[in-house]
Amino acid sequence: MYEFTLEEMPAVDREVGNWWTSTCPQSRFRQNLTVTLASPDGTRLSVLNREFTRRRGAEVLERFEFSDAGHLLRVLGERFGIRLPSDTTFSIP
């Protein structure tokens, strides 16, 4: 999650946080595939491993599991605007 304020975040905080989340074996970001997007209309899209969820508050509007890595790539492009090369492969936890 991100919080946007007018305060500047010290570089050391970004560096240490990014280093830990990307290198520590216990980091949930090393153990899971995680993508989230908050929309202006109040909905939130999320991917956690093999599952896509679209919700508004506590209400689940849509949920499904990916059929394969190609399905995941299509959802990342269509729903999140993340365009990856077609030969991208994932090891989905």
The pTM (predicted TM-score) of the whole model is: 0.75
**Which CATH number covers residue 72?**
3.30.1120.150
Confirm whether 45 is domain-assigned: yes
Highest mean pLDDT of the ranges 1-10, 66-75, 84-93: 66-75
Torsion of CA 62, 68, 74, 77, to 10 degrees: 90
Q: Which domain holds residue 74?
A: 33-81
The answer to whether 48 and 65 are in contact (CB under 8 A) is no
> pLDDT digit string (tens) for 15-72?
888 888 888 888 888 889 999 999 999 999 999 999 999 999 999 999 999 988 889 9
Domains contained in the chain, number: 1
The answer to whether residue 70 sits within a structural domain is: yes
Q: Which residues contact 47 (CB under 8 A, 6 or more apart)?
A: 33, 34, 35, 36, 53, 72, 75, 76, 80
Q: Is residue 25 part of a domain?
A: no
72 lies in a domain? yes
27 inside domain? no
- Residue 51 inside a domain? The answer is yes
